[in-house]
Amino acid sequence: MPKKIRELISDLKKADFLDRGGKASYRNFTHAKGAKITFRGNPSHDAKRYQERDFQKALHEVVE
């Protein structure tokens, strides 16, 4: 079962990503190490595969 978008956003905030805001349902996050990610959709919706993939890629960039 896919994670909810709100769960991905919560995990990003725990990893020190900053919410830069966005228009409509878009939310932009950046990290001090240069990683960027954008989520689109209602926080209560299931995350799409590409969103979960991008989330893992952004976390991986920060860890290295």
CB burial of residue 7 (10 Å; 0-12, 13-18, 19+): middle
**Closest alpha carbon to 36 in 54, 24, 11:** 54
The CATH number of residue 42's host domain is 3.30.920.30
**Domain total in the chain:** 1
pLDDT, tens digit, 9 for 90 and up, residues 3-27: 999 999 999 999 999 999 999 999 9
Full residue range of the structural domain in which residue 10 is found: 5-63
pTM, rounded to two decimals: 0.89
Give the rounded distance of the alpha carbon of 33 from its chain centre: 15
pLDDT, tens digit, 9 for 90 and up, residues 42-52: 999 999 999 99
Q: In 1-64, where does DSSP find H-type helix?
A: 5-14, 49-63
